[in-house]
Amino acid sequence: MTTSNLSTSPDIAAPGTVAGLRSDGADGAADEVLRVDDLHVSVHHGAAMAIRGISLRVRAGEIVGLVGESGSGKTLTCRTALGVLPPGCAIERGTVAFAGQDVTARSRRDWERLHGSHIGAVFQDPASYLTPSITVGSQLAEVLRVKLGLGRRAAHRRALELFGAVGLHQPERVYHQIPAELSGGMLQRAMIAIAISCDPQLLVADEATTALDVTIQAEVIELLLQLRDQRGLAVLFVSHDLAVVTELCDRVVVFYAGEVVESGPAEEIVTRPRHPYTQALLQVASVGDFRRRELRVIAGQPPRVGADIAGCRFAARCPAAISACRAGAVQPVLVGDQHQVRCVRAADAVNVAELAAR
Amino acid sequence: MTAVPAGATLPPHDVPPLLAVESVDVVLGRGWRAARVLRAVDLRIWPGEIVGLVGETGSGKTTLARTVVGLADPAAGQIVFDGAPISTLRRGARRAQRRRGHVQLVFQDPLRSLDPDLTVAQIVGEGLEIRGETDQEEIRRRVLGALEKVGLDVTVLHSTPGQISGGQRQRVSIARALATEPRMLICDEPVSALDASNRNYILRLLGQLRDSLGLSIVVISHDLSSLAGIADRVVVLYRGRIVEDGPVEQVFAAPRHPYTALLMASAPSVRHDRPLSPHQLRRTDADPGPVTGPDACVFAARCPFAADACAAQPALETVDGRWSVACHRREEWGALALARDRGGPRPAAARRAAPGTPALWRPSRDQN
């Protein structure tokens, strides 16, 4: 099936949600959906600190992208926000607040009330999150019946509406198909339909487009933008691909070795990156350049997860590093409107490309 | 860009091709399950050439690679390697051909394709032992040589794949392939499991291997932008047929097939200056019903520009030198696409840069 039309039927938009809900003012506490403050998460039963002081916030109707290399702590942050930390991992310090309420100490049962109805999630491999032998439609209807208490007929009807809303062309047909009969793109749409079925305030998408073909990836990105516009859905989007993140996100948070090194409006991050690591990431990203060019790499390897490093964690790979970088912990500084950088030389207008060319 | 255009001059085609895939059809499965995965595929690869093979899931990229190394049989057509037909070889001869290791495959996910219980030294040396090399000293010398070619330190020699990083693992798979001194590498999505920096490292490495060893390399990838960095030629597959084949710079500057254009328009980018949006290249409900039929062009069902002529599959025709395209409407669709609605939600960046945004934020595009 070709999926070209992504129209979302307006009649199932959540009551009371208005497009453009987000306020761009500095004080956005009122519409903050997710707020993470000074989060520290240990792994291997406390042996290593994989996340060291992450702070971020997501407002209603805002798409925030987390980007960084594998092992930088993006996924762990997501899982903390979802309350599904893997075994051996624990929150050591800091808070995660969902819609103003601290959820760090919630019991599993409390979390279950949030899951689905307030927070939805989509992951990289949709096929492994669906039961292979049950039709996709009944898996969605089951969620609606359990979470919203809908009757059999009402659940069926709403499931079809949702399949239509995520751009599946023949909802009735898809309803009766099992996961193996759907393509990757269709499965990911079905997963998104399930994730948004109970009108959550927040959608967590962890590498949700990574395994898809580029044409399908572009369609899923458009779908997420549309859902945000029509429902005021907030999205926490994780990807290792900076290009994908900038296609979609309003704000970008750059992770390196368990810390946020830079965060700010996506356009600003892309056009005026201040942290040497962000600049390096931009040089290696697929910048949409189809001309023949030299493929660049970031020299060196990221530190071991949880390694104790005095000073800046990127200093060992940074062409702009000076002795002050290794002297002590680096605090984030504000360099523009909502644009933060964790770099000793934030004020020096460092340009990694020039330094590397020298 | 300080880029030195690697291989700005294309490898010469005046010698016989190293590999010729001649009108190959491949059918997988039997009886009612039988599916024609490749149709009339014609592909020639010359010595020292890097060819990018792109296409979506299920388009037959991997099947083509498997057919070339003899893991799948063509139902029609033949495969000629270095002047000798190899697809018609019988069992023993075919195994002998494979053991020689002139063509080597490199797989997508080294964690799954490398034996987790073997050390790097064993993995890289295995191909040599299979070929019948018995001199352990010679094997060791070649293993070290292969590791050196991919820039790996001898310290990894006794590690297992689980103990080294993702980028190092992919280099081990390439070293494994190089150990038998092949003439051609076929890399099936060699970088899609890697992050951007490691991805570029591996692609650059392939470029260097071509330069130093004169290898022919086929890179299967869905990341068109990185391919632009190393490939000489790009071949686009759609549902088992080659729809476009040409020099990478020419094809990416102005694709002649609407599917190639759709792939390029859909590729994520930090710039927002695409000539065409994906919307202009997709069918919408406003378009007339799709052209279908048993002989219709493979792309017709998805093509917004399909006309009556497209009820017959177009042949791959040369349009310019080494550039060939299979599209009846190759001269017309470009103008039609530009006239279509760019549609859909505007790119996030366009919304952010809406009026009222401080001029300070205006992008200066060329700084990277």
Give the residue on B whose Cα is nearest the Cα of A184.
B57
**Tokens 């490495």 identify what position?**
B205
On whether both B46 and B152 belong to a single domain, the answer is: yes
Verify whether the Cβ–Cβ distance B274 to A215 is below 8 Å.
no
Q: Which helix (H) or strand (E) holds B333?
A: helix B333-339
Q: Which residues pair with A239 in a beta bridge?
A: A67
* Nearest CA among B327, B307, B308, B311 for reference residue B319: B327
Domain boundary among B196, B219, B251: B251
Look at residue B23 and tell me whether its pLDDT is greater than 90: yes
- By residue count, chain B amounts to 368
B331 CB within 8 Å of a chain A CB:
no
Verify whether the Cβ–Cβ distance B252 to A290 is below 8 Å.
yes
Verify whether the Cβ–Cβ distance B348 to A226 is below 8 Å.
no
B164 CB within 8 Å of a chain A CB:
no
On whether both B198 and B79 belong to a single domain, the answer is: yes
Q: Do the Cβ atoms of B343 and B327 come closer than 8 Å?
A: no
B363 CB within 8 Å of a chain A CB:
yes
Residues 6+ apart with CB under 8 A from A13: A230, A231
Look at residue B364 and tell me whether its pLDDT is greater than 60: no
Alpha-carbon dihedral angle through residues A55, A59, A63, A68, given to the nearest 10 degrees: 0
Verify whether the Cβ–Cβ distance A282 to B270 is below 8 Å.
yes
Higher model confidence: residue B71 or residue B176?
Answer: B176
Q: Do the Cβ atoms of A177 and A136 come closer than 8 Å?
A: yes
Is residue B358 one of the residues assigned to a domain?
no
Computed from CA positions of residues A130, A132, A138, A142, in that sequence, does the dihedral angle turn out positive or negative?
negative
pLDDT of residue A5: 40
Higher model confidence: residue B150 or residue A108?
Answer: B150
CB contact residues (below 8 A), chain A span 262-321, against chain B:
265-268, 270-271, 279-298, 301
Question: How many residue pairs bridge chain A and chain B with CB atoms within 8 Å of each other?
Answer: 178
**Average pLDDT for chain B:** 86
Q: Do the Cβ atoms of A262 and A273 come closer than 8 Å?
A: yes
On whether both B44 and B84 belong to a single domain, the answer is: yes
CB contact residues (below 8 A), chain B span 253-292, against chain A:
253, 262-271, 273-274, 278, 282-285
Q: Do the Cβ atoms of A251 and A228 come closer than 8 Å?
A: no
Alpha-carbon dihedral angle through residues B130, B131, B136, B140, given to the nearest 10 degrees: -90
Rounded Cα–Cα distance for residues A296 and B6 (Å): 13
Is residue B357 one of the residues assigned to a domain?
no
On whether both B128 and B202 belong to a single domain, the answer is: yes
Cα Rg of chain B, angstroms: 22
A241 contacts in chain B (CB < 8 Å): 196, 268
Look at residue B200 and tell me whether its pLDDT is greater than 70: yes
- Kindly give the interhelix angle for A184-195 and A214-231, rounded to the nearest 10 degrees: 20
Is residue B70 one of the residues assigned to a domain?
yes
Q: Do the Cβ atoms of A275 and A341 come closer than 8 Å?
A: yes
A288 contacts in chain B (CB < 8 Å): 225, 267-271, 273-274
Q: pLDDT tens-digit profile of A284-333?
A: 876 667 777 788 888 888 888 888 888 999 999 999 999 999 998 899 99
Alpha-carbon dihedral angle through residues B164, B170, B171, B176, given to the nearest 10 degrees: 110
Is residue B243 one of the residues assigned to a domain?
yes
Question: What letter represents residue B350's amino acid?
Answer: A
Is residue B367 one of the residues assigned to a domain?
no
Give the helix ranges, DSSP H, for chain A: 74-82, 108-114, 136-148, 152-165, 171-175, 184-195, 214-231, 242-248, 266-271, 276-284, 352-357
On whether both B58 and B144 belong to a single domain, the answer is: yes
| CATH number where B81 lies | 3.40.50.300
Computed from CA positions of residues A164, A166, A168, A171, in that sequence, does the dihedral angle turn out positive or negative?
negative
- Kindly give the interhelix angle for B196-213 and A276-284, rounded to the nearest 10 degrees: 50
> Where are the strands (E) in chain A, listed by range?
32-43, 48-59, 63-67, 90-98, 101-102, 119-122, 202-206, 234-239, 251-256, 259-265, 333-336, 339-341
Q: pLDDT tens-digit profile of A39-48?
A: 999 999 989 9
Q: Do the Cβ atoms of B265 and B342 come closer than 8 Å?
A: no
B252 CB within 8 Å of a chain A CB:
yes
Domain count, chain B: 2
* Nearest CA among A339, A85, A290 for reference residue B264: A290
Confidence of residue B99 (pLDDT cuts 50, 70, 90): confident
Rounded Cα–Cα distance for residues A254 and A282 (Å): 11
On whether both B282 and B230 belong to a single domain, the answer is: no
pLDDT of residue B71: 86
Rounded Cα–Cα distance for residues B98 and B85 (Å): 13
Look at residue B263 and tell me whether its pLDDT is greater than 50: yes
Rounded Cα–Cα distance for residues A69 and A188 (Å): 23
Out of A242, A247, A295, the one facing B204 most closely (by C-beta) is A295
pLDDT tens series, chain A, 358 aa = 333 444 444 333 333 333 333 333 344 566 899 999 999 999 999 899 999 999 999 999 999 999 998 889 999 999 999 988 989 999 999 999 998 889 888 888 888 888 888 999 998 888 889 999 999 999 999 999 999 999 999 999 999 999 998 988 889 999 999 999 888 888 999 999 999 999 899 999 998 988 888 888 898 999 999 999 988 899 999 998 888 898 899 999 999 999 999 999 998 998 899 999 999 998 887 666 777 778 888 888 888 888 888 899 999 999 999 999 999 889 999 998 889 999 999 888 778 777 766 6
**Lowest mean pLDDT, pick from A157-161, A171-175, B44-48, B88-92:** B88-92
Is residue B24 one of the residues assigned to a domain?
yes
pLDDT of residue A288: 65
Is residue B364 one of the residues assigned to a domain?
no
A125 CB within 8 Å of a chain B CB:
no
Q: Do the Cβ atoms of B251 and B244 come closer than 8 Å?
A: yes
A62 CB within 8 Å of a chain B CB:
no
Residue A165 C-alpha, separation from nearest chain B C-alpha, in angstroms:
14
Q: Which residues pair with A49 in a beta bridge?
A: A42
Is residue B87 one of the residues assigned to a domain?
yes
CB contact residues (below 8 A), chain B span 51-80, against chain A:
56-58
B228 contacts in chain A (CB < 8 Å): 289-293
Query: What burial class does residue B137 get, using C-beta atoms within 10 Å of its C-beta: 0-12 exposed, 13-18 middle, 19+ buried?
Result: exposed
On whether both B77 and B138 belong to a single domain, the answer is: yes
Cα Rg of chain A, angstroms: 21
Quick count: other Cβ atoms within 10 Å of Cβ A19? 12
On whether both B245 and B298 belong to a single domain, the answer is: no
Average pLDDT over residues B134-160: 93
Quick count: other Cβ atoms within 10 Å of Cβ B153? 9
Verify whether the Cβ–Cβ distance A270 to B283 is below 8 Å.
no
Query: β-strand A234-239 against A202-206: which pairing, if any?
Result: parallel
Q: Do the Cβ atoms of A258 and A52 come closer than 8 Å?
A: yes
Q: What is the span of the domain harbouring residue B317?
A: 255-344
Q: Do the Cβ atoms of A145 and A152 come closer than 8 Å?
A: yes
On whether both B259 and B246 belong to a single domain, the answer is: no
On whether both B172 and B280 belong to a single domain, the answer is: no
Quick count: other Cβ atoms within 10 Å of Cβ B21? 23
Q: pLDDT tens-digit profile of B306-316?
A: 999 999 999 99
pLDDT of residue A6: 40
Most B CBs within 10 A among A290, A339, A350, hence the mutation to make, goes to: A290
* Nearest CA among B40, B73, B83 for reference residue B240: B40
Average pLDDT over residues B335-343: 90
On whether both B238 and B269 belong to a single domain, the answer is: no
pTM to 2 decimal places = 0.84
CB contact residues (below 8 A), chain A span 141-160, against chain B:
none
pLDDT of residue B13: 80
On whether both B188 and B328 belong to a single domain, the answer is: no
Confidence of residue B166 (pLDDT cuts 50, 70, 90): confident
Verify whether the Cβ–Cβ distance A297 to B361 is below 8 Å.
no
Out of A219, A241, A247, the one facing B196 most closely (by C-beta) is A241
* Nearest CA among B314, B338, B337 for reference residue B325: B314
In chain A, the N- to C-terminal Cα span, in Å, equals 52
Kindly list the distances between the CA atom of residue B237 and the CA atoms of B35, B41, B87, B280, in Å, as whole numbers in the listed order: 16, 9, 21, 21
B2 CB within 8 Å of a chain A CB:
yes
CB contact residues (below 8 A), chain B span 193-232, against chain A:
195-201, 203-204, 207, 222-226, 228-230
pLDDT of residue B2: 36
